[in-house]
């Protein structure tokens, strides 16, 4: 099991487990059509957000295959939850994980998603000892694909017609990084202030 000392501090952000009182901030972005566009859920109302946050409050460790670690991304100066990041344990035996994230569009362009996602990759490779981490996104979600590329992940595939998604067949992009690639000097560049657009992955 991965045991973590919370909170995790990055250059400008705090990553911590979700709390029930985060529902208002989470609803501010999960309820938006532009955020839900590439997600498998529709814009969420207050009750659906409450249920989602309650679920995320229990996602605090990685024990078995399929477990998800969900973290609130908090701007310390305001205490606002600006987004969420997650790491899913796909296979303990083969040391495989998956990165996911969703951020509020009002906090785009500041490098927050890059900074928080980089911290999750560091957690996966350096603390959990994962061999490989993937990231997946809707093929039309250019902002999400751009984030995965800024993190240094390689595009490995475009999967065609993976499912009938919101009235049309969906294509997915698959990115990946190996532990040795993370450890390479180029992967350790400072991404704290890299510009970015809004993102969402593992939808």
| pLDDT tens digits for range 61-81 | 999 999 999 999 999 999 999
Q: How far apart are CA 20 and CA 179, in angstroms?
A: 34
CA–CA separation, 116 vs 101, rounded Å?
9
What confidence tens digit (pLDDT) does each residue in 19-40 have? 999 999 999 999 999 999 999 9
Cβ–Cβ under 8 Å, residues 113 and 145 = no
Tokens at 44, concatenated = 């969420």
- Is this structure's pTM higher than 0.75? yes
């Amino acid at each position: 099991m991965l045991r973590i000392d919370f909170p995790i501090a990055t250059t400008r952000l705090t990553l911590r487990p979700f709390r029930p009182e985060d529902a208002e901030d989470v609803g501010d972005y999960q309820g938006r059509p532009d955020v839900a566009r590439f997600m498998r859920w529709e814009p969420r109302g207050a009750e659906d957000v409450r249920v989602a946050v309650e679920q995320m409050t229990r996602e605090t460790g990685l024990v078995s295959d399929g477990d998800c670690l969900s973290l609130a991304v908090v701007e310390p100066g305001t205490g606002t939850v600006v987004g969420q990041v997650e790491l899913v344990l796909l296979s303990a035996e083969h040391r495989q994980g998956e990165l996911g994230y969703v951020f509020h569009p009002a906090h785009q362009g500041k490098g927050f998603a890059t900074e928080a996602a980089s911290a999750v990759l560091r957690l996966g490779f350096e603390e959990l000892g994962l061999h490989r981490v993937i990231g997946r996104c809707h093929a039309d979600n250019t902002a999400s694909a751009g984030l995965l590329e800024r993190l240094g992940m390689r595009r490995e595939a475009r999967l065609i017609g993976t499912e009938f998604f919101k009235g049309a067949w969906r294509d997915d992009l698959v990115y990946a990084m190996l532990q040795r690639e993370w450890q390479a000097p180029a992967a350790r560049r400072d991404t704290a202030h890299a510009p970015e657009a809004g993102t969402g992955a593992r939808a």
